[in-house]
Structure 1
Amino acid sequence: MRFSAIPLVALGLGLTACGSQSDDTPAPTASATGAAAPAPAPLPTEIPIQFQGRWGLNANDCSGDPAAAKGLLTIDASTLRFYESTGTLDEVTSSTEGRLRGNYSFTGEGMEWQRDEILDLRNGGKVLVRREFGEGASPEAFDYTKCE
């Protein structure tokens, strides 16, 4: 007696279809070790310490002379302070090692505005690259050097 492989394959496919899930619930994801993937770390609520300090666009900004320090950026746990404006952190939207993105409320020269800012540390934390997004934002990045 000879059996054809086609009916056996069809039977196998029919049994597989009967055993499949009928709901749209996704299967749980697991890591390579079989454990459930860890929950992402919570975002910080302040500007991390490695970003804090005095940063200059040029050497004069770090000289200590306020009249010459028009490119000085001073960062603390909640603010970005510039020569004529201050941005207060409203919310951190993403954070990784050496990078922080957040929404800030700015005031300066009698005006108020919002900005989405990215701060990137480079060169072992000696260089800070700042980029801004939103209406009226500069299309270019600003490169700061850590003041000693």
Structure 2
Amino acid sequence: MTARLICVGASLLGVAVGSCLPVASDQQAEAKSDPVTVTNPAPNATPVAEVPLEIAINQFPSGYQGRWAKSLDDCPIDPDHSENVISLQGRLLKFHESAGTMTAGKRMTSKTIEAEFDFVGEGEKWTKSIGFEMSENRQKLTRTDQDSGIDYHYVRCPKLMAG
């Protein structure tokens, strides 16, 4: 019970705690009431289950924060000057000529979040719902515009280009 409270507390703070990661074990057999999805398991590796969380968040979890680009070649470009680069920092999502502030969010699973953003840019203001899904190796990010259903794919930029 104490470990569960620590995991929930860490999740609320957006902090990764190794003991919170799902591990294939007898406990999973007991938790069959919740749907578990395993995607692309590596050969000879213990599959990692996708665990439903549905935890309220008010900023990007630490693993999501940083600069993301359509390709590694785009990483050096400032997000303010390219449609191919986004930056996720705290509550802020920076796009080309606009920035959104997370007003409400939910960590749906250990790899997915959904959030509402208030955007400003080019003299206008608007609200948008966006989903994010992290790849297994945490090097790729898919951004989904909830209104149109369009997916945008990014790769993680090196840490020196984090903002």
Measure the CA separation in 2 of the matches of 1:90 and 1:67. Answer: 21
Match of 1:98 among 77, 90, 111: 111
Matched, 1:142 2:152: yes
- Distance apart, 1:66 and its partner CA: 6.7
Contact map agreement 2:56 2:104 (CA 8 A) in 1: no
Matched, 1:73 2:86: yes
- Secondary structure of the 2:105 match is strand
- Distance apart, 1:93 and its partner CA: 3.5
- Distance apart, 1:125 and its partner CA: 0.7
- Secondary structure of the 1:124 match is coil
Measure the CA separation in 2 of the matches of 1:67 and 1:59. Answer: 17
Change (3 A) 1:83 1:41: closer
The percentage of aligned residue pairs carrying the same residue is: 23
Contact map agreement 2:68 2:85 (CA 8 A) in 1: yes
**1:101-128 per-position Cα deviation (integer Å, ceiling 9, x unaligned):** 0111111111111111101001411000
Measure the CA separation in 1 of the matches of 2:104 and 2:80. Answer: 32
Structure 1 unpaired stretches of 5+: 1-31, 33-39
- Distance apart, 1:59 and its partner CA: 3.1
Q: Under a length normalisation based on structure 2, what TM-score does the superposition of the two structures give?
A: 0.58
Contact map agreement 2:80 2:95 (CA 8 A) in 1: no
Measure the CA separation in 2 of the matches of 1:67 and 1:45. Answer: 23
Task: Write the letter of the residue equivalent to 2:146.
Answer: F
Matched, 1:133 2:146: yes
Change (3 A) 1:60 1:66: farther
**1:123-143 per-position Cα deviation (integer Å, ceiling 9, x unaligned):** 411000000123xx4x42000
- Distance apart, 1:43 and its partner CA: 1.7
1:118 aligned partner: 131
2:102 aligned partner: 89
Measure the CA separation in 1 of the matches of 2:80 and 2:91. Answer: 25
Larger radius of gyration: 1
Contact map agreement 2:55 2:108 (CA 8 A) in 1: no
- Distance apart, 1:69 and its partner CA: 3.6
Q: Under a length normalisation based on structure 1, what TM-score does the superposition of the two structures give?
A: 0.63
- Distance apart, 1:58 and its partner CA: 2.5
Contact map agreement 1:60 1:69 (CA 8 A) in 2: no
Contact map agreement 1:61 1:70 (CA 8 A) in 2: no
Match of 2:57 among 29, 35, 44: 44
